[in-house]
Amino acid sequence: MISKVCVFCASSHKVDSKYFDVAEKTAEVLTSNNITTVYGGGAVGLMGKLADTAMEKQGKVIGIIPKFMMDVEWGHKNITELILVKDMHERKKKLIEDIDAIVILPGGSGTLEETLEVITLKRLGKFTKPIIFINTDGFYNSLFQLFDKMVEEKFMREEHRQMWTSIDQPEEIINAIKVSPVWDETAIKIAAV
């Protein structure tokens, strides 16, 4: 059963409206399936749209944000629970505790950094849950090409392509999680190429 999903997404409020639509639809899919949304705790950009939509739909939303971001008033004050942490490292660790999957929306350097960390943890068998990219209009195609190059050049193995799933629409999230390849702690045995 899927009960809690972490969503990585951007805080920028200047991005194209299509990305806000994806954040809104993601929140609708999660709440309509009684899934708690865990995210970075922001009040603006895709983060804000995700949280606002989930709350409007009577969903449960848990935000995790470093104190320094609250000091500059970036945190969302109208969600189910807002957890303050000391820094970005603690935030990333807390975001993936006791979740059933990660959904990655388009984002900037912060989203990419969080994504690469969980992929690395999955490669080492320290994180084993599904990682789902919502590849809106091919947003992540260049990243996937880089991963392909890493496999071709033997920096990663062919099996490592199974660590994530790419979908085009939020409506595909639930099925993508359910059919995601099994991954477990033994992955560290194939971590080395």
Task: Answer whether residue 121 shows pLDDT above 70.
Answer: yes
Residue 139: Cβ within 10 Å count: 17
pLDDT at site 24: 98
Give me the domain span that covers residue 162. Answer: 4-190
pLDDT at site 187: 78
pLDDT at site 191: 59
Q: What is the pLDDT of residues 32-78, one digit of tens each?
A: 999 999 999 999 999 999 999 999 999 999 999 999 887 777 889 99
pLDDT at site 188: 78
Q: Specify whether the CB–CB gap between 47 and 75 falls below 8 A.
A: no
Task: Answer whether residue 190 shows pLDDT above 70.
Answer: no
How many domains would you assign to the chain?
Answer: 1
Domain containing residue 11: CATH number: 3.40.50.450
Q: What is the pLDDT of residues 88-117, one digit of tens each?
A: 999 999 999 999 999 999 999 999 999 999
